[in-house]
Amino acid sequence: MNFKAPPKKSLGQHFLTDRNMIDMIVLAVNPQPGDRLVEIGPGQGAITLPLLRRHGELTAIEFDRDLVVPLSAAAHGVGQLTVIHKDVLQVDFTRMAGEGTLRLVGNLPYNLSSPILFHALDHAAVVRDMHFMLQKEVVDRMAAGPGSKVYGRLSVMLQAYCTVTPLFDVPPAAFRPPPKVDSAVVRLVPHAAGAVGIANPQRFTEVVRSAFGQRRKTLRNALMGVCDSEQMEAAGVRPDARAEQVEVASFIRLANLPVAMPVEP
């Protein structure tokens, strides 16, 4: 393996080096014959090569052009690696999946983790599961329930579409260079399309964004112009509640209600 270039701060690169953690991630993914694995941000191949040895085939999406050639060279004789040099936010996972489904894996750049998660959600219909390493604080928010101090927009949006399961923590010493934060590995399994129950995804996104946009306000005030008190009560949501007190299913019911039309003078 010939990775001579140091990690790039501008890309938020922290390369995983701890063999025990790598083995735990591969065990969590547990690839099976016929799986289509797609790794986001393979870096220097810490997870890529063990997955290749286990599964034999992998597609990797890497933004850093300096890593593409050495990564391909390192995979020679290990398995069939296809490296796509592209910004993952520009990758059409639905088109990539074709008639099948994808399993996504990755040590995500922490400065882009939320955009990547939401991009993956846009293609949830073709994603069987996701195993991501993220900042532990982000994983805590992803899995938080109503009433938690860290329950927020990210919690609701992800849990509406996926089952979110934190798996294990990863200490800074497991990386080169060590980040200044703890990390964690999380599994996300998209719900079956018929089980999500969101009639209008755009409307749902608007309701959740507005509700958490001003956390200190009651929903009656935070959702002014989006939903009225009558609609909230019809959805079983107290207008005087705050967003962090409302469960995911209630946000879905609220967003699914018909939009009130303005009364003509």
Ligand-binding site membership of 87 (annotated): yes
CA gap 108, 91 in Å, rounded: 15
62 is in an annotated binding site: yes
**H or E segment at 39?**
strand 37-40
Closest to 38 in 3D by CA, of 77, 78, 2, 92: 92
Longest dimension (CA), the chain: 75
What are the Cα distances from residue 98, in Å, to 94, 106, 237? 7, 21, 40
CA–chain centroid gap for 173, Å, is 24
16 is in an annotated binding site: yes
CB 170 within 8 A of CB 110: no
27 is in an annotated binding site: no
Do residues 169 and 21 touch, judged by C-beta distance below 8 A?
no
Alpha-carbon radius of gyration of the chain: 21
Length of the chain: 265
Is 20 annotated as contributing to ligand binding? Answer: no
Binding annotation for S-adenosyl-L-methionine: 14, 16, 41, 62, 87, 107
Binding annotation: 14, 16, 41, 62, 87, 107
